[in-house]
Amino acid sequence: MRTRLVVGNWKMNFTEAEATAAVQSFIKMVSAKSTVDVVVCPPATCIHSVRELVKDTHVKVGAQDVFWEDAGAFTGRISPRMLDDAGVTHCIVGHSETRGRFGKLEVPASTVSTFVETNETINLKLKALLFHALIPILCVGETTEERKEGFTEAVIREQLAGALAGIDASELYFFVVAYEPVWAIGTGNTCEPEEAGRVCRFVSSVLAELLDADVAENIRVLYGGSVRAANAGDLFQQDGIDGGLVGGASLDPLEFSRIVMSA
């Protein structure tokens, strides 16, 4: 059985002082639950302080995104070399929000084109992270319209194939995939546990086709999308779900600790 993994994606929340307070509270609550792998992904401005707070614990620090070049004239971007230097071990790639696919749109629709992630850029980021021995957490998932039209499996297959193009299976033993239905992100709508499990198993089957069955067997598949303490237990009991990628609920130390305990 694969070790459970719970990842907290703080998104664009918390100052350094707020992050420090949250992590200090959270660590006290989960210190005895070392059988579950835990990763916290703070905003870039808080990575260093969070890393210092968790360095003697089983909690790891991840990043929310990365650029694929190590250095250059790319204003505002953060390279995998910089993340490695900061002590980051994991990095989220291809989140629906960086793809411009929002479950709950909180910016003017005219600005969505600012979010321009594609399968090509995701592929470049994955290759750069793997080169630096950082663990990618690849997000895949369908929109409401795609699900209604019966395209869930086709969308996920296309996203996986595009992201993994040209990457050798031997590089992916510690790779992580998170199934995040776009319609469940930030909306309060959660995929029914049985359906979430079915799609996560489908993700694993596609990975086995694209890569190698033995490698795919080691790749953890998480569910994300309005995961809360109240539904985490039911979700984590499903065959095929190896943990969760938690958004808003990870901002509350008590709520997030209860989710970890459910794993």
Active-site positions read 95, 180
**Would you say 83 and 66 are in contact if contact means Cβ atoms under 8 Å apart?**
yes
The response to whether 10 counts as a known ligand-binding position is yes
The response to whether 68 counts as a known ligand-binding position is no
Task: Tokens 């390279």: give the residue.
Answer: 79
Task: Report the half-sphere exposure of 83 (CA within 13 A, side-chain side).
Answer: 34
The response to whether 11 counts as a known ligand-binding position is yes
Of 178, 163, 262, 250, which is closest to residue 220 (Cα–Cα)? Answer: 178
The response to whether 247 counts as a known ligand-binding position is yes
CA-to-CA distance for 52 and 59, rounded, in angstroms? Answer: 11
Strand stretches in the chain, DSSP E: 5-9, 37-41, 59-63, 90-93, 135-140, 176-179, 220-224, 243-246
The response to whether 226 counts as a known ligand-binding position is yes
Q: Which residues in 206-245 are b (16+ Cβ under 10 Å) and which e? A: bbeebbbeebbeebbbbbbbbbbbebbebbbebebbbbbb
The response to whether 9 counts as a known ligand-binding position is yes
DSSP, collapsed to helix, strand or coil, labels residue 135 as strand
Q: Which residues in 119-149 are b (16+ Cβ under 10 Å) and which e? A: bebbbbbbbbbbebebbbbbbbbbbeebbee
Residues making up the annotated binding site for substrate are: 9-11, 186, 226, 247-248
